[in-house]
Amino acid sequence: MSAPLPATYEDLPNPRQYWPAAPGSYEEGLGMLRLLTPEIVASAARNEIQTGERVCLNWELENLNPPGFGRRPFNHLIKYVDSSNGAALDDEYHFNPQQSSQWDGLRHHSAPDKENPGKKLWYGGTTVEEIMNTDSPRIGIGHWAKKGIAGRGVLIDYASWAERTKGLKPDYALTRHKISLDEVLTIAQESNIKFQKGDILFLRVGLPQTWSAMSAAERKTYSEQAVPQHAGIEQSERVLKFLWNNHFSAVASDAVSFEVYPAIEEEFDLHHHILAGWGMPIGEMFDLNGLAELCKQHNRWTFFISSSPLNCARGLSGVRPSSVLHSLLGFS
């Protein structure tokens, strides 16, 4: 049985760590995805799926190439199944899920233990030893894969709004461009978005346009930075209160990180709080361009979203969607 969800941020016994489920349990492995109950998913499908139009939110596997943080670049091989007669061919993919569209899994990012700052803890108090040195699937992405991710999505199209109201072209995604919570709330009001419990929040920043306009040399320079810069929502306690009080089940963006990076206020690092602290999935580098076009066409910024994470029990480093996962299933 799920523990009652604290209604407000102020009701949290410890805003940095909300771990209501038993260690090693399926519910612990779900994190905030436990909010996607059958009732909430059925309501989203009933109210959002109307025209049946669909769009894939996966950015090409080849992006971001070359990747930052010293990650392995993407490689695709085509090989004969039987080299003696060449009757069939196979694909081989070699890639780091963090290079393109993916969900940050609960094993991906830790936070410092407030009582012992030199110690790192993952969601639920999971330790690096449990993740690295055992066969335990505790908080692995396999928990998400059992039923997938499905529910009501809401799009905050900052890229279009900033171009329309400020004359900003989407070339700031790989800078420390901060999107304020006030701007997010303004866009939500103008778009007639009323948040509901269990919503999946999408923030469009404009990384695909930024990346496509960069030269090979500029991309290489980006990948070699010791501390790359990424645009995103402000990292502040105001944002934490906004995310908790609206009871989002997950957040996602087309940027490299959902929040501005590096953090301007380290005390409120969003990855520490919402991923390691609350178990809220963070989607990164989704391709939101087609979604934004459909939302604009229908003047509606809510939709049904489905995603099927990789079925890897001990997976951790961001969940790479396969071909049909992030699909928009309908508008009014």
- The pLDDT of 124-130, averaged and rounded, is 92
Residues 38-60 as b/e (b if ≥16 CB within 10 A, e otherwise) read eebbeebbeebbeeeebbbbbbe
Residue 43, pLDDT score:
96
pLDDT confidence band for 315 (50 / 70 / 90): low
Residue 98, pLDDT score:
66
Of residues 267 and 294, more confidently modeled? 294
Would you kindly state where each structural domain of the chain is located, as residue ranges? 9-328
**328, pLDDT greater than 60:** no
Residue 126, pLDDT score:
94
**331, pLDDT greater than 50:** no
**321, pLDDT greater than 50:** no
Residue 327, pLDDT score:
37
**160, pLDDT greater than 90:** yes
Residue 123, pLDDT score:
96
- The pLDDT of 112-117, averaged and rounded, is 80
Residue 84, pLDDT score:
64
Total residue length of the chain: 332
**326, pLDDT greater than 50:** no
- The pLDDT of 93-106, averaged and rounded, is 78
Cα–Cα distance, 66 to 219 (Å, whole number): 7
**311, pLDDT greater than 80:** no
Q: What are 30-83's pLDDT values in tens digits? A: 999 999 999 999 999 999 998 889 898 887 777 777 666 667 777 778 887 876
Of residues 161 and 227, more confidently modeled? 161
Q: What are 243-274's pLDDT values in tens digits? A: 999 999 999 999 988 999 987 766 788 999 99
Give the CATH class of 9-328: alpha beta
- The pLDDT of 214-230, averaged and rounded, is 86
Beta-sheet pairing, 302-307 with 327-328: antiparallel
**pTM for the whole thing?**
0.89
Residue 46, pLDDT score:
94
Cα–Cα distance, 33 to 159 (Å, whole number): 27
* Dihedral sign from CA coordinates of 281, 284, 289, 292: positive
Task: State which amino acid sits at residue 194.
Answer: K
Residue 68, pLDDT score:
62
Sequence-distant (6+) residues with CB within 8 A of 16 are 111, 114, 272, 273, 277
**324, pLDDT greater than 70:** no
Residue 76, pLDDT score:
78
Residue 176, pLDDT score:
92
What would the two tokens of residue 45 be?
């499908």
Residue 319, pLDDT score:
47
- The pLDDT of 301-305, averaged and rounded, is 95
Of residues 33 and 87, more confidently modeled? 33
Cα–Cα distance, 19 to 30 (Å, whole number): 11
Residue 325, pLDDT score:
30
pLDDT confidence band for 195 (50 / 70 / 90): very high
- The pLDDT of 127-144, averaged and rounded, is 89
181-190 vs 158-166: helix crossing angle, rounded to 10: 90
